[in-house]
Amino acid sequence: MARRVVITGMGAVSSLGMSAVDTMRGMAQGRSGISALEFQDVERLQIRIGGQIKGYDETAHFSRHEIALFDKFTQFAVLAAREAVAQAGGKVGGAGSGVVLGTSGGGLQTQDENFRKVYEEGKNRVHPFVVPRLMNNAAASHLSMIHGITGPSYTVATACASSNHAMGQAFHMVRAGMADQMLTGGSESMLCFGGIKAWEGLRVMSKTGCRPFSKDRDGMVQGEGAAVFVFEEMDRARARGAEILAEVAGFAMSSDASDIVMPNRDGAVRAMQGALQDAGLGPEDIGYINAHGTGTAANDRSECQAVREVFGEHALALRISSTKSMHGHLIGGTGAVELLACIMALREGIIAPTINFSAQDPDCALNVVPNEAQQAKVQAVLSNAFAFGGLNAVLALRAAP
């Protein structure tokens, strides 16, 4: 009998709220977390909006010593994990548990601040913790230390698919018996001058807003934050009486092998088909897809074509939405925050909307849940992530058994 994997804890911080519940409530309300960016040198940017967490005070959550070691991406992961572990009854730790987190920029804020000091301000000395703060595995390492997790822990960096790849790895490890419990998800904090300046160069960012699938869409908007989940072997979770939020049913990855930035329909098709097959689900079982839905012309068109190809006529019956319209694109943390929309759909029958939708694009003629949440009873969902570099990762979730 194959081991089954369930989710027993969730936590998040995002521009929609400082907990998983608040973030999901924001999604259900169709609230926008996008606002004017606030940080040093923002006036030198073309792009000045993002899903920034406003009013965040690190000293309210961490000691001075912790702050000295925690870049913001680590802080977000630690806060999300705290919530997830509490929900799972505080029962994590030991050699039977591990941590796999996704991030793309890692401690980019730390890099940016210190590059400014040495290049712009001409300083010749940096704080001794620059490296332990900026390293991409910092968040995973701190979660292992805080929660006494001594099994396998590492970080996955596959740009916009980092979190989905991470959660897929965690799922595989629990299913394969390499671990009984994994903390997994992702974290990102790229909203600083250098972070946005680099993205500006690609000319895929919107100056006005994130409008996935809408005919007037003109690019992506970044966000920041984290989401962390407790993935656990089902029998173990049941034996200890844990509340099961959803089942992780399947996962698949594919590579486009075509272009470093342009999406590829075939790669997306193979990842979705693979996830369905791995989960033992048919296309008609899927009631909701959390889209990658970046709001760029290319992604949304290609993703909708891929959905049509995988789901045939059922593509018109299912719902597909992009919550990036509300919290922005969290790059390496995005799949984790978006998994909350999947859990909300399965548990509460609330399908998060795609906000800022004004007019249908014939290339994206699906039920994209425009502007307002919809009610629907769904038994199974997919969560898509298609990264720059042509690396695709799709998770399949089923309602709690």
Partner 1 sequence: MVNNVASSVIGIIAEQAMLPAAEISPDDTLESLGVDSLGLVEAVFAIEEKFDIQVPFNANEPGQSSFDISSVGSIIKAVEALAKEAR
Residue in this structure with the two tokens 């919107």, named with its chain if needed: 206
The first and second tokens of residue 353, run together, are 């909307």
Active-site residue, selected from the candidate residues 210, 304, 329, 342: 329
Residue 56 or 129: the one with the smaller Cβ distance to partner 1 is 129
Residue 64 or 203: the one with the smaller Cβ distance to partner 1 is 64
CB 166 within 8 A of CB 87: no
DSSP string spanning 353-372? PB-S--SB-GGG-SB--BSS
CB 343 within 8 A of CB 7: yes
Longest C-alpha distance within the chain, in Å? 63
41: helix, strand or coil: coil
Active-site residue, selected from the candidate residues 147, 292, 304, 342: 292
Shortest reach from residue 58's CB to partner 1, in Å? 17
CB 246 within 8 A of CB 347: yes
Residue 211's identity, in one-letter code, is: R
Q: Which residues bind partner 1 (CB under 8 A)?
A: 65, 68-69, 125, 127-129
- Is 160 annotated in the active site? yes
CA angle 398, 252, 330 (to 5 degrees): 80
Shortest reach from residue 45's CB to partner 1, in Å? 30
Residue 68 or 317: the one with the smaller Cβ distance to partner 1 is 68
Shortest reach from residue 380's CB to partner 1, in Å? 47
Q: How far apart are CA 335 and CA 248, in angstroms?
A: 14
Residue 125's identity, in one-letter code, is: R
Q: Please list, residue by residue across 83-109, b when 16 or more beta carbons sit within 10 angstroms of its beta carbon and e when fewer do.
A: bbbebbeebbbeebbbbbbbbbbbbbb
Residue 127 or 240: the one with the smaller Cβ distance to partner 1 is 127
Q: How far apart are CA 392 and CA 252, in angstroms?
A: 8
The first and second tokens of residue 137, run together, are 């595995």
Active-site residue, selected from the candidate residues 142, 160, 327, 342: 160
Shortest reach from residue 155's CB to partner 1, in Å? 21
Residue 39 or 129: the one with the smaller Cβ distance to partner 1 is 129
Shortest reach from residue 146's CB to partner 1, in Å? 16
The first and second tokens of residue 339, run together, are 């998994």
Shortest reach from residue 61's CB to partner 1, in Å? 18
Residue 69 or 178: the one with the smaller Cβ distance to partner 1 is 69
- Is 342 annotated in the active site? no
- Is 329 annotated in the active site? yes
Query: Residues with catalytic annotation?
Result: 160, 292, 329
